Amino acid sequence: MDAKRVDEGWKEKAEKEKEDIQTQPKTENNDKEFPQVNFNVFLSGLGIQALIALGEIENPMTNKKEQDLAQAKYLIDTLEMIKDKTKGNLTQTEDKNLEQVLFELRTKYINICK
């Protein structure tokens, strides 16, 4: 009869994760799930902030649509700077997403400012 092979490696992984959790600073947000950190999630975050500043979507703090065109311009300029600084270092998908976000935000900004 063949002996069962038991993978004990998971115990070490679980113990390491437990140690990592215990060394994290305690905050109110430790129980929240956040998306995996990557460039496209970062772009989405900045894009959403810009849409809030443009008054396109509700501000989650006030539950109202409010315009702050100076903040919107700052965020669009920030994305433009990121585009310039990351030129040649992005994947094709990341580059396309950045171009799309910039195009949409610029178009909305220009239409609002007319």
Q: How far is CA 57 from the centre of its chain?
A: 17
Q: The whole model's pTM is what?
A: 0.69
The predicted-structure confidence for 75-112, as pLDDT tens digits, reads as follows 999 999 999 999 999 999 999 999 999 999 999 999 99
Tokens for 97, please give them. 């997403």
Q: How confident is the model at residue 36 (pLDDT cuts 50, 70, 90)?
A: confident
Q: How confident is the model at residue 34 (pLDDT cuts 50, 70, 90)?
A: confident
Read out DSSP for 46-99? HHHHHHHHBTSS-BTTTTB--B-HHHHHHHHHHHHHHHHHTTTSS-HHHHHHHH
Q: How confident is the model at residue 32 (pLDDT cuts 50, 70, 90)?
A: confident
Residue 4: strand, helix, or coil:
coil
Contacts of 51 (CB under 8 A, 6+ apart): 57, 105, 108
Q: How far is CA 72 from the centre of its chain?
A: 17
